[in-house]
Each structure stands twice: as C-alpha cells, then as structure tokens.
Structure 1
Amino acid sequence: MAAAADKTKKTVDKDKIAKPRKPMLVTALIAVLAAGAAGAGVWFFAQPGHDDGKAAAAEKKPAMPAPAQYFPLDPAFVVNLNGPVDGPRYLQVEVQLMTRDAAALEAIKTHAPAIRANLLMLFSQVSAAQIADVAGKQKLQADALATVQKVLKAETGKPGADELLFTSFVTQ
C-alpha cells in the first residue's frame, strides 16, 4: 500500500506543479494576441488612405479658383431712358463681363453682338427713378447678368459669365 500512497502523493505533487503553468500559459497567449492585434492596427492605419484625417482635411481645403478673366463690351452703352422729360434722359454705362473659364470667355467673344443687343433692350426699358439709388443700380446689374447668362445658355448650354460689372455709369 505504501507504493500506492507514494503514487498518489506523486500525482498530487504533479497537479500542484501543473496548475500554476496553466494561468501562465493563458497570460502568454493573451499577450501574443494583443501584440498581433496591435501590429494589425499599425499595418491598417499605415496603409495609404488612412492618414489620421490629414488627407480628408487636405481634400476639404477649398481649391484656389481659376484667375478671373474680363471682357469689356466696348463701346459704352448709350440709351434713352423711359419716363418724363423733366429728369435724366440718357444712360451711358460701360460693362465688363467676368468669367473664370477660358471656354466661356471665347463664347462671350463669339456671342458679343447678341449680348449687346439684349443688353441694349434691357437698358432702354429703365426709367430714371429705377436707377436713382444704389439698390436700383444693383438690381439693374443683376438683371443685366441674368440677360447675359440667358443668351449664353441659349447659345452654348452654359451660363458662361460669372459676374457683370458696371465700370462707368452716367445719367444725364
């Protein structure tokens, strides 16, 4: 019996020794998995397209617009104003069109006679009272731009002109 008791004692001793190894093995396995996950995360974020938002910020930064190009509609427009004879009767206005597209500038040059004709009709319908203050001049400017864009859209399919500027505005 003593042999059986020794065998049981040896088995108990082995169990005491084996048990501490199991938690150490689990800890080592967890450490290896964590290191692998960290390595995978570094690899994933090091790939192109994952620049910690720097690329996204660079894309959101507005691009510089193309340089403005101006086209003067020469000579100046001179029209009779509508309304009673006791006030101003003539309007002389110099107009320049602004665009940022070279193709639109060529379209403006090509269709300048049609643009001038439509602007003459618009300016001749204005009365002196309508353009007596800044708000009236700004409204006329906006209407003139809409007229130019309408002509260009009918001819080219695109509005073309970005802005219409009065570089001289005289009533007499």
Structure 2
Amino acid sequence: MSAKASAVAPAATPDADAPVGKSRKKLFVILGAVLLLAVGGGGAWWYTSHAAPAPHEAEKKLPTQYFAMEPAFVVNLADADAVRYLQADVQLATRDPETLKALEEQAPAIRNRLLLLFGQQTSDALIQRSGKERLQDKALAEVRSVLKREGAPDKVEAVIFTSLVTQ
C-alpha cells in the first residue's frame, strides 16, 4: 500500500497547490494593473507639466521701445471749404530691437509717407475718436509698408499720437 499511498500523494499535492496558483495569478494581475496605472498617471503628469510652458512663461516680452518722429508733423488738411492744418507728434512703438534700428534707418521714408497720409485727411474726419483711430491704423500700415519694401523687420506694434491738433 505504500506504493499506492506514494502514488496518491503526488496527485493530492497539485490539487492543494491549485488555489494558491490562482491567488498568485490574481495577485500578479492586480499588481500589474496598479503598476500600469501608476506609470500611466506619472507619464501623464510629466507630459502635461513639461510638454509646453505656460503662455506667460513662453512669451517673455521685451519692454516697449518708442521711436519719436521729430520734429512734429505739420500739414495742410484736405478741407475744400477752408485752409486747415494738422499738427501731430508721433511715436512708433516696438518691442523688437532690430525693428527699432530699422525705424531709425528708414525715418526719412517713413516721415514722407506719413506726411502724404496726413495731408489727405479732413478736419471733419479727425473730430471723432474713431477718425483718429482709423488714422492711426492707416499710419501703422504705411510704416510697416515702408519697412517691408526695404526688407527690414516690420514688428511695429502701434503708431501713437502724443499730440494732435487741428486748426
């Protein structure tokens, strides 16, 4: 019987180990899932924190620099009923040092284009704020046009009137 007993004993051992094998398998599946979630969460955190800097960090703006168009502009306005004048002090704003240098180099050409533009205006058009703002927009387009034509940087942000008198 001992031969039978020894033959039965090995058969009983795998059945006893079967529940332990299933629990180990479950344990490995659970550990694998937790590890997968941890790696996925860590990867997502790293990607969102390092992928792109915040907009305010990415755009560290240089300070605005102003170029004064001196002397003041004095032009006859295009009024048909009377002789009227416009006197304007103009500053050009940029944050780009290369554009500032281009403004200095192209000042005579810019001044010419602005004189021609200002001379086309009427006093009625400049009475309202909206008319002055339209003139600023047109002046900005003229300045950029001169710089582009010369192949210079044209990052002018604004044309600013520091004084504007019609008479």
Question: 1:144/1:168 Cα in 2 relative to 1: closer, same or farther (>3 Å)?
Answer: same
The alignment-based identity, stated in percent, is 35
Pick from 51, 72, 80 the counterpart of residue 46 of structure 2. 51
Structure number with the higher helix fraction is 2
Question: Mapping of 1:69-108 within 5 angstroms?
Answer: 69-86=65-82, 89-108=84-103
Distance in 1 between residues matched to 2:62 and 2:16, nearest whole Å? 73
Q: Does 1:61 align with 2:55?
A: yes
Q: Does 1:120 align with 2:120?
A: no
Deviation, structure 1 residue 25: 2.0
The Cα offsets for residues 20-40 of structure 1, whole Å up to 9 and x where unpaired, read as: 312212322442454456557
Question: Mapping of 1:88-167 within 5 angstroms?
Answer: 89-167=84-162
The Cα offsets for residues 103-154 of structure 1, whole Å up to 9 and x where unpaired, read as: 1100000000000000000001111111111010100010000000000111
Q: Is the 2:98–2:153 Cα contact (8 Å) retained in structure 1?
A: no
Q: Which amino acid aligns with 1:59?
A: P
Q: Which amino acid aligns with 2:132?
A: K
User: What is the TM-score when the length of structure 1 is the normalising length?
Assistant: 0.80
User: What is the TM-score when the length of structure 2 is the normalising length?
Assistant: 0.83
Pick from 27, 32, 39 the counterpart of residue 31 of structure 1. 27
Name stretches of at least 5 consecutive residues in structure 1 with no aligned partner: none
Name stretches of at least 5 consecutive residues in structure 2 with no aligned partner: none
- For residue 103 of structure 2, give the secondary structure of its aligned residue in structure 1: helix
Deviation, structure 1 residue 19: 1.0
RMSD: 2.9
Distance in 1 between residues matched to 2:62 and 2:40, nearest whole Å? 37
Distance in 2 between residues matched to 1:35 and 1:157, nearest whole Å? 63
Distance in 1 between residues matched to 2:125 and 2:25, nearest whole Å? 85
- For residue 63 of structure 2, give the secondary structure of its aligned residue in structure 1: coil
- For residue 15 of structure 2, give the secondary structure of its aligned residue in structure 1: helix
Distance in 2 between residues matched to 1:163 and 1:35, nearest whole Å? 61
The Cα offsets for residues 5-58 of structure 1, whole Å up to 9 and x where unpaired, read as: x72x664554344213122123224424544565576567667x95262224x6
